[in-house]
Chain A
Amino acid sequence: MSKLSVLLIDDDAISNVFNSMILKRNYPSVQIHATCGASEAIDYLKGNPLDKPTIIFLDLNMPVMNGWDFMEEYKKLNLGIDVVLVTSSDDIGDIARSKDFVEIKHYLVKPITVKDLKEVLA
């Protein structure tokens, strides 16, 4: 596998910590960039076209710019990076809405497990 680089987007700092921990435990060579807001993540993606993340973990419920707002902006960037939703919501409406975005490959309910990671990063 080529170098794994993950962009974490979650307003809850603890969630980011947990996600980094579980990633590092199972994939020691992983590169992680954690952002605590969608607009920060957009800025990051715009500014680093060379060091592209290979996958994005996105939370839905965030202040100012929520996960859906992020997806609208992200679509315009046309980066072709897969997005994984990592959210505490198992709402049917949210799951259905996630199907509208081809970029969203998986829908994970917090907390993510080793099994989830194996499936997503396979």
Chain B
Amino acid sequence: MKERIYRIYFSIINAGLIENTALGKRYRLISINKFCFFCILISSPYLFIFYAINSIAPFTLIFSAQILFAMVIFINYKQYYNAGRFLLIFTTALSVLFISLMLGFESGFHLYLYTAPLFVFWLFDIKEIKNIVFAASVYAIVYILVFIFKYNTTPMYTINFNFFGVDLYSLNMGLNFVLLSLLFYNYTNYYKLLSVNLIQKQKHLELEISKRIESEENTKKIFQELSKSYSSLEQFSFIISHNIKSPLANIKGFLGLYDKEGKDLEFNRNLIEHIETSTMNLDDTLSDLNYILKSQKEILKKREEIVIKNLINTIRVSLSAEILSSSVELVEQYEEGIKLFSIRSILHSIFFNLIQNAIKFRRDGIKSVISIFVEQDERGTIIRVADNGIGIDLDKYEDRIFNLYNRFNTTIEGKGIGLYLVKNHLDLLGGTIEVSSKINEGTTFSMRIKN
């Protein structure tokens, strides 16, 4: 029962509210509905009193005012927010006019009634200037009329405010004051609660949204990484299978040609030689595969402090024959003591392969210079290995440059594994690599390794 009354009360109070009503409008709508509802409630006892003492005129007046208030709620409920507000303005203005006429202009009740224009500021936002001007002019007209009547007429009706010995006038004032303060208190509380609630909700929503964005980004990242590693795995298996398949196909083919009757000994000997070569090719592929798979496991090794200078020196030693015979100059552009906390074998492989490539693909007729640049910032290490060699046609080969067994120059010996390994190692370390190159000018590999 109690719950049902509450529900009816709230459905009246919230008439016209929809889900996304703006805060200011929400606040006003609820206030208007509450005001109208309480006006009806407050005036109801008087309705009975006037009916009981058989005073038809005030009874009709109060009853019509009640109907008007009820209409305001109904209009709000029908979503005509502005119409509701203006009806309230008209109702209060008319009430002022009629009560003034009825009670006589000398009554102290006027003071109370003259507060009605305050409604204008309560019902409209300061920005709704047009509405305020209109509402204020309604009151202005009413008060002009009141003053005209005041000097030209006598009161239509005077009420005996003594009801069974009680001063109804004071009672009315007191009761109205209590109810209005209750209304105000209730309504400031409600507003406070509403705003606190809203702020909490907003914060919660913001948190939720940022969480979602974050998780979405994470998922995207993971997905990208997965699809990247999947495609590189796919490519790897495709290439390996191709490189196993083709020597196997050759062996199979040669064996099919074998002269079983042994008439053509020379031919058979030839075949065996070719089968041998194909078997060696197969063996090579398998050892490449083994090497690559083994290098993947290097990531499990312990990280240690690696002084770049020492690392480059070891590479200088192991490549000394090539460096000497091709008279390449290795320029080291970094601070003496620059260190990296990483996996030695992987870092060694990256530098080794890049320097070896730079020596291999040098340009004849000029002094070959390979510069190694290392720099550290708070985000990680930047490494650049640049040469002035023959360069790579990136327009053609950019998307294949780090692929396994891809070679872009057939005149120089190679297997097409070096850059594949470099890229692979950087992936393992969580680094990135970019290449820029110009034919007959040189190539620069820029890498970034996170701390």
Contacts and interface: CB of A to CB of B under 8 A. Distances in A.
Interface of A: 11-12, 14-15, 17-18, 21-22, 25, 36-37, 61, 63-64, 88-89, 91, 109-113
Contacts of A36: 410
Contacts of A12: 246-247, 250, 281
The interface residues of chain B, by DSSP majority, are classed as: helix
Nearest to B278: A14
Given A88-B245, A110-B246, A113-B256, A14 B416 contact: no
A64 B253 contact: no
A15 B250 contact: yes
B416 A111 contact: no
A111 B416 CA distance: 24
Interface string B403-431: 00111111000001000000000000000
Given A12-B246, A17-B274, A112 B410 contact: no
Given A25-B257, A110-B246, A111-B249, 7 more contacts: A14-B277, A18-B253, A36-B410, A63-B405, A63-B410, A63-B416, A91-B238
A64 B410 contact: yes
A112 B246 contact: no
Contact of A110 (B238, B245, B271, B416): B245
Contacts of B416: 63
A109 B277 CA distance: 20
A111 B410 contact: no
Contacts of B257: 18, 21-22, 25
16 contacts: A12-B246, A14-B274, A14-B278, A21-B254, A21-B271, A25-B257, A63-B410, A63-B416, A64-B407, A88-B245, A89-B245, A110-B253, A111-B249, A111-B250, A111-B256, A112-B253
The interface residues of chain A, by DSSP majority, are classed as: loop
Contacts of A22: 253, 257
Given A14-B281, A61-B242, A88-B245, A110 B250 contact: yes
A80 to B, nearest CB: 27
Given A14-B274, A17-B274, A25-B257, A63 B249 contact: no
A63 B278 contact: no
Which of B247, B249, B256, B409 is packed against the most chain A CB atoms within 10 Å? B249
B252 interface: yes
